[in-house]
Amino acid sequence: MSQIGIHAGGYLRVSDYARSVDRLLLDLQSGDTPDTETINPVLSLLGSVSDEKSAAPLVQLIKLQWREVSKEAVSRLPNIIAELKSGSPSEQTLSDLESLAAVLDKERVTMRLRLRGE
């Protein structure tokens, strides 16, 4: 397979993850209560990130990169998940989700550049 092709699948998946986190942040930072359609994809992503052994390689990569940016956020994962489930995320959780959004955006941009052969 070509170098371009290998990034196509990853790009779409990272793009989906990034979009789901941004959609949730849009609700939370606007003071709106996210519905399950908005919150579930993020909970599912965070659940996969927590699951060290069976996470897809791309999710493991995201975790590795997130840890480099914010070790604290990754260690707070159980709290982040619990707060999102309870419907009352703290300021700290919002900030942790922001750091995840930045990691996902960076990986999305990186893959996008490679997809274009740049």
Name the site residues for other proteins (rule: CB under 8 A). Answer: 1-13, 15, 18-19, 22, 25-26, 29-30, 32, 53-58, 60-61, 64, 101, 105, 108-109, 112, 114-115, 117
**Least CB distance to other proteins at residue 88 (A):** 20
**Least CB distance to other proteins at residue 26 (A):** 6
For the record, the structure tokens of 46 come out as: 């965070």
**8 vs 77 by CB, closer to other proteins:** 8
**Least CB distance to other proteins at residue 44 (A):** 9
Burial class (CB in 10 A: 0-12, 13-18, 19+), 33: exposed
**18 vs 84 by CB, closer to other proteins:** 18
**Least CB distance to other proteins at residue 106 (A):** 11
Any idea what DSSP says for residue 55? Answer: S
